[in-house]
């Protein structure tokens, strides 16, 4: 029995290789319980990330986990989704307070206890995190209580390119070691930037590049940007190109999120296989260099992108 939310997952989790029954949960789309003063909300499986964001907007709170698609929130729980904001806000594992689950025998239970929405409990096993990322193999998630965050006063995005992968990742490591509370750090290699420009009609430098985003008050964002500038200069980075209005920021991140389509459209008639690996951040340059050499030997093009703030890479083999 395979639960279906929005079908945005690209890893084939919905494929019933040996047959089966697909349960379409997309019409269970209610927001069941909402406590902005306690920073939590309870949603059904059909509620998507963007629908929740629209609902929350006027109250100054948000749910920041962004896997790059308008995925269903219970589906994000099921897959243990990460995304572009993980470096500051964590992954789904850190942002789920409780799950309502239906077991194989029809038993319905809540992983943290009936209607539990407290931020912490030390009573018994942590069943919630057992089900987050289990991909429906232990039970089917029919509601999720999620942790919300204060919506930042200011959001500013920037793009900076580097002469080498080592320089780009050196900047990321420097940012993290300096305890700068950066919201997003995304990496695109040279081939990725070429594909990005071709598909999104952008004019970014076609070199290893970091997409950055800063959240906070006006003064704290300004301070973060100045510190990152210094670290980027030390690593031979270009001048930072900024996007401060919501429209410009959306354009910048749309270009990053559209990489799936940019890769698919780069060579008509070709398909691509996405991969998903995670290494300690200090090992990122070594991992990228190894992959690039391997693809060169194999004679395939494989753009590499990643949520490098938590060491996550996607090698996309065309």
**pLDDT by residue (tens digit) across 116-168?**
998 887 778 999 999 999 998 999 999 999 999 999 999 999 999 999 999 99
Q: Poorest-confidence range of 3-17, 180-194, 225-239? A: 3-17
CATH architecture under which domain 154-317 falls: 3-Layer(aba) Sandwich (3.40)
- 20 closest CA partner among 143, 185, 137: 137
pLDDT exceeding 70 applies to what percent of the chain?
100
- The C-alpha atoms of residue 305 and residue 282 are separated, in whole angstroms, by 16
The alpha carbon dihedral of 91, 93, 99, 101 has a sign of: positive
Tell me, what's the pLDDT at 17?
84
Which pTM was predicted? 0.87
- pLDDT for the residue numbered 251: 87
Instruction: Please check the confidence at residue 11 and state whether its pLDDT lies above 80.
Output: no
Q: What is the pLDDT of residues 252-291, one digit of tens each?
A: 888 888 998 999 999 889 988 889 899 998 888 899 999 9
Give the residue extent of every domain in the chain: 2-150, 154-317
One fold for 2-150 and 154-317: no
pLDDT in tens, 220-232: 999 999 999 999 9
Distance CA 306, CA 181 (A): 19
Compute how many other C-beta atoms are within 10 angstroms of the C-beta atom of residue 149. Answer: 16
> Does CATH place domain 2-150 in 3.40.720.10?
no
At 18 the pLDDT is 87
Are 195 and 243 in contact by the 8 Å Cβ rule? The answer is: no
Q: How far apart are CA 179 and CA 217, in angstroms?
A: 17
Instruction: Calculate Rg over the CA atoms of the chain.
Output: 20
pLDDT in tens, 42-78: 999 999 999 999 999 999 999 999 988 899 999 999 9
Q: Give all strands (DSSP E) within 118-270, no chain letters.
A: 140-147, 149-150, 154-161, 184-188, 209-216, 241-243
Region of poorest pLDDT, from 91-95, 235-239, 254-258: 254-258
Q: What percent of the chain has pLDDT over 90?
A: 73
Average of pLDDT values for 245-250? 86
Say if residues 214 and 156 touch (Cβ distance below 8 Å): yes
Checking if the pLDDT of 250 tops 90, the result is no
């Amino acid at each position: 029995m395979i639960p279906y939310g929005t079908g945005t997952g690209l890893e084939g989790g919905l494929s019933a290789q040996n047959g089966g029954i697909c349960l379409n949960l997309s019409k269970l789309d209610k927001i069941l319980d909402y406590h902005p003063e306690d920073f939590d909300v309870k949603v059904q499986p059909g509620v998507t990330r963007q629908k929740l964001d629209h609902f929350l907007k006027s109250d100054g709170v948000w749910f920041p986990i962004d896997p790059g698609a308008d995925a269903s929130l219970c589906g994000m729980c099921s897959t243990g989704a990460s995304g572009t904001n993980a470096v500051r806000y964590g992954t789904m594992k850190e942002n789920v307070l409780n799950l309502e689950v239906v077991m194989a025998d029809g038993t319905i239970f809540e992983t943290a206890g009936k209607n539990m929405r407290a931020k912490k409990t030390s009573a018994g096993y942590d069943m919630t995190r057992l089900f987050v990322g289990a991909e429906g193999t232990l039970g089917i998630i029919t509601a999720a209580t999620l942790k919300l965050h204060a919506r930042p006063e200011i959001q500013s995005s920037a793009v900076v390119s580097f002469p080498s992968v080592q320089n780009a990742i050196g900047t990321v490591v420097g940012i993290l070691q300096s305890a700068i509370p950066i919201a997003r750090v995304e990496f695109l290699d040279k081939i990725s930037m070429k594909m990005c420009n071709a598909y999104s009609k952008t004019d970014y430098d076609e070199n290893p590049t970091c997409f950055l985003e800063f959240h906070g008050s006006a003064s704290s964002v300004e301070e973060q940007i100045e510190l990152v500038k210094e670290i980027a200069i030390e690593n031979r980075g270009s001048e930072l190109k900024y996007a401060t209005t919501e429209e410009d920021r959306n354009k910048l991140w749309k270009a990053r999120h559209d990489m799936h389509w940019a890769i698919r459209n780069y060579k008509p008639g070709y398909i691509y296989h996405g991969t998903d690996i995670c290494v300690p951040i200090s090992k990122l340059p070594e991992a990228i260099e190894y992959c690039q050499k391997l693809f060169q030997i194999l004679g395939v093009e494989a753009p590499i992108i990643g949520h490098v703030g938590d060491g996550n890479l996607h090698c996309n083999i065309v």
